[in-house]
Amino acid sequence: MKLKADTVVVGFDYTYGPKDIANVENLPKFAQGRFQIMVEPKQSIDKIKVGSTYIRKAIQHGNVELAAALLGQPYETSGIIVHGFRRGHKIGFPTANLEISGAKVLPAEGVYATRAKINGKWHDAMTSVGYNETFKTNHGLTIETNIFNFDEEAYGKPLTLSWYKFIRSNKKFSGIEELSRQLDQDKRNIKQYFYDLEK
């Protein structure tokens, strides 16, 4: 497929194809005047280079605030809401279970302050990434989001999550009551976080 590009914008350390021969220095030779080339200079935030490698590492280590700084906006993931076990609903914290592509970069396990876009509207939310250790299930990694001020049927609908802040690591609770108390505290902390963010 021929794109017939007019201008190609690349980073200062961009490579393509074999790295030893395909880089920014010889890109003009490849272009042969067919398109303009714009090379973006190195950008750093707190001495960290803005680049895909560092962004992925930040996300995978749960540092979604650093990822947002490097990206210029919160990191987002999108998927379809699927049926779960409805355990959250039974303890007063209904969740939207997100099914996403295995190729997506996901934050480290834990609980996060997020915002969820559903039906065209954004809502504050808390999202858990983990393996449901308290319930001793073995169904793989799950992404479960409790959407604040939302009480509608959502199965099969697309959902976009914006990741704002890591709140805490996952832990195994002694039972439903302890889990419920912790979720209530998490929700209060996240509401306070977004309140302070909007000041």
Could you state, in order of their start, the residue ranges of all structural domains in the chain? Answer: 7-42, 74-197
- Please check whether residue 173 is in contact with residue 182, taking contact to mean a CB–CB distance below 8 angstroms: yes
Q: Which fold has domain 74-197?
A: Elongation Factor Tu (Ef-tu); domain 3 (2.40.30)
The pLDDT value given to residue 75: 98
Q: Is the pTM of this model over 0.85?
A: no
The pLDDT value given to residue 113: 99
Q: pLDDT tens for the chain, 199 residues: list them.
A: 577 889 999 888 888 887 667 888 888 888 888 999 999 999 888 888 888 889 999 999 999 999 999 999 999 999 999 987 666 666 678 899 998 877 689 999 999 999 999 999 999 999 999 987 666 555 678 899 999 999 888 889 999 999 999 999 998 888 888 999 999 999 999 999 999 999 8
CA gap 62, 60 in Å, rounded = 5
The pLDDT value given to residue 137: 59
The pLDDT value given to residue 133: 67
Q: DSSP letters along the chain, please? A: -----SEEEEETT-B-SSTTT-BTTTHHHHHTTSSEEEEEPP-EETTEE-SHHHHHHHHHTT-HHHHHHHHTS-EEEEEEEE----HHHHTT---EEEE--TTS--PPSEEEEEEEEETTEEEEEEEEEE--GGGT--S--EEEEEETT--S--TT-EEEEEEEEEEE-----SSHHHHHHHHHHHHHHHHHHHHHHT-
